[in-house]
Structure 1
Amino acid sequence: MPSKKRKDTKKTTDESSAAKESPFVSYEKLVETIDVLKKWTLLDDKQKSDKKELFKDTADCVVSLQVNYKKTPLNKSTYIFAISLPNHWRHESSDFETCLIVKDVNKTPLSDRDLDLTETKNHYRELLSKDNSDQLVSEILPMRELRNEYKIFESKEKLCKAFNVFLCDRRLLHNKFDYLPMFLGKSFWINDKKVPLPIDLTSTSLKSVLESKLNQTHLYLSGKGDMSSVNIGLLKQSTDKLAENLMAVNILLLKEFGNNIRSLSVKTEKSISITYFLDCGFISDIQMVRKSADNKPLEDEFSHFVDSNIQVFKNGNIRVVPKQDVDLDKSEKIDEIESKWLSMTRKRDNKKKNKRKRLSAHKPNKRRKIVKKSVEQKSD
């Protein structure tokens, strides 16, 4: 009987260790790293001044993970990775504020501006209270109020710093105008990195959608440097909670970047960075392939054309292409309308080719200029 009990305990320990398998380093190393960070902040507080007063400030400090890459990730614009954390710090923070940006209920603004805004806010408050998710949103901000009161850059910065997370109706982001990202600008996208998270307000389970968005942390990649950072929690959280959050971020980093990670370090705003992973491999071993955009058009038959198909591209352009499997005899002629469409698309393609040739011909050769300058200097 005792031998069976031993086997069972072995199984449970193996299962728990398998559940906490962390990439790059072991889970125990992550716990050790967080412990070192906490000890360093305590020692630093003792050296500076009164321990109790300063530790309140340092306890609320955000712990961030610094990621150094061997090669700069290839992306033309800012890309945001959303990582769901098992222990988000919003549950342990007393001053965690969220703002929801919404569409206006009245399409044409009312003469009474305050009444117009209150109607919009009350409408969305009722929508949130139906699903018991009213407490998850601190402030509701209609688009009309955002446009009128936050035009100046300084006011946008104040708004950005007033809230921890910004949410928005997904219809404001996922449209062809992109008005909201353009209006918010630098303070939201670059300085504080608080881009509004899109939410489907018509969802039947709105509370679960809001909670899943609020439990995320975000890694911003601009493609302009070999380093990026991501927040993983607060210093006052327990060591195990911070280690589990760190492990969740490590899993995504290994999946997305693999061997391109040079080093991983943990730090707060006031502390030194504590490195727990370092890869001294060669940069030449990393082969980065830029994912080319899928610009292949959709081709299908058109009822008005007999011997031609229509190609529709993602940007909305349409081309008329002759069918490849149809061999026309010399005696047979294509319909007049069909032939006109074919000639139009061919002319347009030829114009694009000629334009590219002209642009490449007019580009100045810098190497020739440098050689000419050096020859002139020698002659002088």
Structure 2
Amino acid sequence: MAAINSGDNQSNRIIPQKTIRKAVISLLKWKKKQISDQESPISGDIDDHIYLLLTLKKIPQKDFTKTPKKITLPHSLITSPETSRSCLIIDDRPKPNSQKLTFDFTDKKIKSLGIPITKILKLSKLKADYRSFESKVELFNSFDVFLADQRVINMLPEILGKVFYKKKKKIPVPVDLRRDGDWKEEIEMGFCCSLLWLSNGTCSVVKVGKFDGMKVEEIVDNVVAAVDGVVEVVPKKWVGVKSFHLKFFDSLALPIYQIDQKDEDMVTDQVKD
């Protein structure tokens, strides 16, 4: 298990930043060598994300696995929200008190707030125009990031299907689009977060960094924030966590935190302090 040290937050007490930094540097060196050996630059088809791999002690109950959890990161995984291709899915179902979101209302609001959204897609149009597998693949490939009204998040796995959800790539980020809400803050936070979708087993992953366009310290900051965010939403918090690893999709997983039975009481005491 990683040594416990003092720090400003709980994850710094459990996982020293130097442990995280060492793992990040090792992974970046590995990826750089891999790309160099291929003698070709990194392409959009290559997954260059660094993942935080979570292993729980027990399989979570179904209540924890129904919807993704937003994990806020200090450094966005999107190089530039202003130039990225983004799709916002809105809930245009009829609602009481004329709270239905129309395309015109949404378009005017995001333009007035200067929010960088490439396409607004109504739920009704999504259901009508993207039924075939081929159309879903086309939609998937057309945008870098998807955001969606949190009121329809539970419906999207069935509508978008395995193209989006099998490999947990480009899963729409839930945002609060109430008419009187702070859309600018919500969508900006949506661009600066990652999603944790707890699996039906003990292992789950969340994106925390990228090889291309991110500095070591930015990735370290994201890992620290992600550990804090993950621990807040998993069953029993730190007590339920068995290990954290960092990895690229195609690399070995480097441990930054592991616990065995003899360490468990020590961690429990630290968490209670």
TM-score interval (norm. to shorter): 0.7 to 0.9
1:165 equivalenced with 2:152 (yes/no) = no
How far, CA to CA, are the matches of 2:219 and 2:35 in structure 1? 21
**C-alpha distance in structure 2 between counterparts of 1:232 and 1:154, whole Å:** 30
- When Rg is computed on C-alpha atoms for both structures, the one with the higher figure is 1
State the distance in 1 between where 2:88 and 2:190 align: 12
Change (3 A) 1:151 1:67: same
Offset at 1:247?
0.3
Q: Are 1:49 and 2:38 matched, yes or no?
A: yes
How far 1:124 moved relative to its partner?
Answer: 2.5
Please state if 1:72 is matched with 2:59. yes
What are the equivalent positions in structure 2 for 1:145-294 lying under 5 Å apart? 145-172=125-152, 182-192=158-168, 194-203=171-180, 205-222=182-199, 224-236=200-212, 237-255=214-232, 256=234, 257-281=237-261
d(CA) in 2 for partners of 1:147, 1:56: 32
**Inter-partner Cα distance in structure 1 for 2:255 and 2:44:** 23
Give 1:254 shift: 3.6
The structural deviation recorded for 1:121 is 4.3
**Equivalent position to 2:30, from 40, 43, 46:** 40
What's the C-alpha RMSD, in Å, of the aligned pairs? 3.4
Greater RCO between the two (CA within 8 Å, min separation 6)? 2
User: 1:66·1:230 contact (CA, 8 Å) conserved in 2?
Assistant: yes
Distance change (3 Å), C-alpha of 1:83 and 1:261: same
Q: Identity, % of aligned pairs?
A: 22
- Matches of 1:151 and 1:276 in 2, distance apart? 42
TM-score (norm 2): 0.75
1:25 to 5, 9, 15: 15
Closer, same or farther in 2 for the Cα pair 1:70/1:268, shift >3 Å? same
Distance 1:244 1:226, change over 3 A: same
Letter in 2 for 1:202: R
Distance 1:268 1:180 in 2: 27
The aligned counterpart of 1:81 is 69
Q: Say which SS state the counterpart of residue 73 (structure 1) adopts.
A: coil
Provide the rounded CA distance (Å) in 1 between the counterparts of 2:163 and 2:210: 23
Displacement of 1:85? 0.4
Per-residue CA distance 1:67-124 (angstroms, 9 max, x = gap) = 12222222354242211101112145786332112355999xxxxxxxxxxxx64442
**In structure 2, how many angstroms separate the alpha carbons of the residues matched to 1:130 and 1:33?**
43
Q: CA deviation at 1:275?
A: 1.8
Q: Deviations over 1:236-289 (max 9, x none)?
A: 30010000100011123444331332222111123222222222227x99xxxx
TM-score of the two chains, using structure 1 as the length reference: 0.56
Equivalent-residue separation in structure 2 for 1:73 and 1:95 (angstroms): 38
Structure 2: gaps of 5 or more residues: 1-6, 96-101, 266-273
Aligned to 1:151, the other structure's residue is in SS state coil
Alpha carbons of 1:187 and 1:23: their partners in 2 closer, same or farther (altered >3 Å)? farther
CA contact 2:247–2:253 (8 Å) conserved in 1: yes
Aligned partner of 1:127 in structure 2 is: 109
> 1:221 aligns to what SS in structure 2?
coil
Q: Is the 8 A contact 1:64 1:268 kept in 2?
A: yes
Contact 2:173 2:190 in 1 (8 A): no
Q: What letter matches 2:86 in structure 1? A: T
Query: 2:81 aligned with 1:101, yes or no?
Result: no
Note closer, same or farther for the CA distance 1:204–1:218 as it changes in structure 2 (3 Å cut): closer
Q: 1:262, 1:204 → 2: CA distance?
A: 38
Q: Quick one: distance in 2 between partners of 1:271 and 1:93?
A: 28
